[in-house]
Structure 1
């Protein structure tokens, strides 16, 4: 199964951030607790998606770094030749 790109999680986060900001602003203006809870839930989903994107980006970077490391060749034992 192919892993999703971190940019897709960032896009999902942006999709949830827009309505969250709108609901938070409307909740403050109208004093509606329901809209403020919706804004809080959108912020929670946004933070979760950002955390997943960060974890994927760091994992991809670490995998790229580790792929360049090759195991060292075994040392020659000169004592056997004596």
Structure 2
């Protein structure tokens, strides 16, 4: 399963009651209140567990958590920095 699918599924299951209607890779999830600031920290914890990465507090920003694509970009960058595979 791709990182995009894993992240999308988690967001849909936790914050959208399993209803993926209207969620696209560029949907502004924070701006549409799909996920709030407290939820972002839950998502950070999930990303760290799922992808075995460390998300520094400095990376927890609206820019990095604006959409599923931006979250995927963050995960891929952190995986590469760690020396792991981005796939």
Q: TM-score by structure 2 length?
A: 0.30
Structure with more helix by fraction: 1
Q: TM-score by structure 1 length?
A: 0.31
Structure index of larger Rg? 1
